[in-house]
Amino acid sequence: MQSMTIRRPDDWHVHLRDGDMLKLVAPFTARQFARAIIMPNLMPPVTQVAAAAAYRDRIAAAAGPDFTPLMTCYLTDESDADEIARGFDGGVWTAAKLYPANATTNSASGVTDIRNIHSPLERMQALGMVLCVHGEVTDPAVDIFDREAVFIERVLTPLLSDFPELKVVLEHITTAEAADFVAGAGPNVAATITPHHLMINRNAMFERGLRPHAYCLPVAKRERHRQAVRRAAVSGSPKFFLGTDSAPHHRPTKESGCGCAGIFNAPMALEAYATVFEEEGALDKLEGFASDHGPNFYGLPLNAGTVTLKREATDVPDLLGRGAIELVPFLAGQSVDWTLDD
Ligand SMILES: NC(=O)N[C@@H](CC(=O)O)C(=O)O
Ligand SMILES: [Zn+2]
Ligand SMILES: [Zn+2]
């Protein structure tokens, strides 16, 4: 196949940040996607309807008219069910986001115990509002490579037995356990999958030296898990859909003695997914994964337009930037097999 046209896709998990970083990265996402679920882990986090509406306006200004940001509410121990319902009913919030406190970047204000958000979760279940989950336990006694699987056991399974109708997206899955759990759960449970977890395993972080640009959370796992996540992505199941988790960090904050977690993949996300789906002999499954399963799960309309991908290599730049900000993109200096036609 030399070219393929699919319904315009959406990104169901992205970090656009704020200020100059937002201005730099938003056009990359808007070039690829019609809509995106915007992560609320700013400093301070987006916990209030008014803050989310103002952030939405800043994103719209940075991304241009062809892009719709879908906002999320950052859940904390103090989250108020009425404020969440008000933002959802008012069309500001599409979903709410559960960060276990200190699990990842800017999650210090996250939830310390799931019991503290029972009343917001009860309301969300009644409203049909999606809960997006960073699914890792923070218990330092649990090995970092096991934190997703243990989260499923200790937190997600009890959560779903307390709220059996709650719509839950287990985000950026990295393990066979997560893929199996989601596949076997009810239709109210789905997962997003990133390009990097499809393309790299944990060796990438240690290839001939320490590689901070391959470091994100949840951390990439061993090859067996990458293979399981690839099978889930190309399975055609409506439970698995595209979420890049593009998470830009200024270069010096990654190339550091304590580097930030996050991989910036927005510039060539679709091209990377197409490369993986072709390797798996599943290009016919790309449109469902990228453009249909997400909106169907969220109960949103499918996009009207299309995008065309050509089977021509795209070279990924070593460095992207503007002004003082420098970003090393995913697959810097390498290439992907497809090109997005503008
Ligand atoms: N994925 C990451 O490694 N980092 C994300 C946070 C997150 O999605 O966990 C970030 O905000 O930088
Ligand atoms: Zn996360
Ligand atoms: Zn993320």
**Cα of 82 to ligand 2 centre, how many Å?**
25
**Beta partners for residue 340, in sequence order:** 309
Mean pLDDT, the chain, rounded, equals: 98
CA 267, distance to chain mean position in Å, is 15
Rounded to an integer, the average pLDDT of 14-30 is: 98
* Residue 212 included in any domain: yes
Do 121 and 133 meet the contact criterion of CB atoms below 8 Å apart?
no
pLDDT of residue 1: 81
Domain annotation covers residue 41: yes
Has residue 312 got a pLDDT over 90?
Answer: yes
Q: List C-alpha distances in Å: 36 to 8, 117, 166, 290.
A: 12, 25, 21, 12
Q: What total of structural domains would you count in the chain?
A: 1
Residue of 15, 106, 196 to mutate, ligand 1, most atoms within 8 A of C-beta: 15
Q: List pLDDT tens digits, range 38-94.
A: 999 999 999 999 999 999 999 999 999 999 999 999 999 999 999 999 999 999 999
Instruction: Give the whole-angstrom CA distance, residue 85 versus residue 171.
Output: 22
247 sits in the region (left: phi over 0; alpha: psi -120 to 50; else beta) called: beta
pLDDT tens by residue, 181-203: 999 999 999 999 999 999 999 99
Q: Is 260 helix (H, G, I), strand (E, B) or coil?
A: coil
Q: What global pTM score does this model have?
A: 0.98
Provide the domain limits for residue 120.
Answer: 8-304
pLDDT of residue 265: 98
Average pLDDT over residues 245-257: 98
- Interface ipTM: 0.99
> 289 exposed, middle or buried (CB, 10 Å; 0-12, 13-18, 19+)?
buried
CATH of the domain at 260: 3.20.20.140
Is 13 annotated among the ligand-binding residues?
yes
Task: Say what the pLDDT of residue 342 is.
Answer: 82
283 marked among binding-site residues: no
pLDDT tier at 224, thresholds 50, 70, 90:
very high
Q: Which one of 77, 245, 292, 337 is the catalytic residue?
A: 245
174 lines ligand 1 (CB under 6 A): no
Region 239-243: what's the mean pLDDT?
99
The Å distance, Cα 96 to ligand 2 centre, comes to 13
- Ligand 2 centroid to Cα of residue 260, in Å, is 13
Residue nearest atom 8 in ligand 1 by C-alpha distance:
245
Q: Has residue 340 been placed in a domain? A: no
**pLDDT band at 207, cuts 50/70/90?**
very high
Q: State residue 31 phi and psi, 5-degree precision.
A: -70, -30
Could you tell me the distance, in angstroms and rounded to a whole number, from the CA of residue 307 to the centre of ligand 2? 28
List pLDDT tens digits, range 78-112. Answer: 999 999 999 999 999 999 999 999 999 999 999 99
Radius of gyration (Cα) for the chain, nearest Å?
18
Query: Is residue 2 a part of any domain in this protein?
Result: no
Please compute the mean of the pLDDT values over residues 316-324 and round it to a whole number: 95
Residue 65, domain member (yes or no): yes
Q: Is residue 311 part of a domain?
A: no
**Atom nearest to 216 CA in ligand 1:** 3
Q: Does 116 reside within a domain?
A: yes
The whole-number pLDDT of residue 205 equals 98
Residue 241, pLDDT > 90, answer yes
* Residue 143: active-site member: no
Report yes or no on 156 lying in a domain.
Answer: yes
Given a cut of 90, whether residue 126 has pLDDT beyond it is yes
For residue 143, how far is the Cα from the chain centroid?
23
Atom of ligand 1 nearest to the CA of 103: 9
